[in-house]
Amino acid sequence: MAMELMDEHEQGERVRQWLRENGSAIVGGVALGLAAVVGYQWWGQSKIGHRADASAQYAALEAASDRGERDGVEKIAASLAKDFADTPYAALANLQLAELQHKAGEFDAALSALRRAEASTTDAGLKELIASRVARVELAAGRPEQALTTLAGVTSEGFEAIREDLRGDALAELGRRDESVAAYRKAHAAYQEGLPGKRLVEMKLAGLGAKVEADA
């Protein structure tokens, strides 16, 4: 029994000695662990707040766009590009700005805004949307060949209707009637029922003296 108590005493002394030698390191490690947890939580909350601020600014931009306030749209778009480039709102802001510039006939400015939008996102779907907008502006600017080149990079099935619609416009402008008709027919088939685009394509086909379905 005495030997067992001595062993327990010696073991206790060894534990206490180990704690004296390593206690500060343990406390430091715990402190670092707690700091890491708190820091991660703060970072998460900060990121959420950052995106919320970007969303609020974008909502203000949309409101300014609806009112036709170009200066307001430009200022907010610049702010989003500067301080919120890591969010999707920077690209979306340039899309809105490009739309206003397009309507005003400022085609080069609109293309610049769209290129900034494209450079600020890695989202494949958004890049294809931007490319289709670029092609639309290029067509409005009288550059159908450039529009066709741009549209060649729009490959997703979800963009088939708008891609073929725009291809039809470009080909018609170039005088390539048969190719234009074929593109419009593809667009018509891809557009969902009830969408205005479907009816507009029918009108474009009629303007070319063609039917919706292939001629028998």
pLDDT tens digits, one per residue of 187-209: 999 999 988 999 999 999 999 99
Show the beta-strand stretches assigned E in the chain.
none
pLDDT at residue number 168: 98
Q: Which of 1-15, 86-100, 128-142, 149-163 has the lowest mean pLDDT?
A: 1-15
pLDDT at residue number 16: 56
Is the separation of the CB atoms in 38 and 54 below 8 Å? no
Q: Which of 7-11, 66-70, 168-172 has the lowest mean pLDDT?
A: 7-11
pLDDT at residue number 111: 97
DSSP-derived 3-state class of residue 21: helix
Task: State the Cα–Cα distance between residues 89 and 122, nearest whole angstrom.
Answer: 13
Instruction: Report whether pLDDT(136) > 90.
Output: yes
Spell out the SS3 assignment of 105-130: CCHHHHHHHHHHHHHCCCCHHHHHHH
Q: Which pTM was predicted?
A: 0.72
Mean pLDDT of 208-214: 84
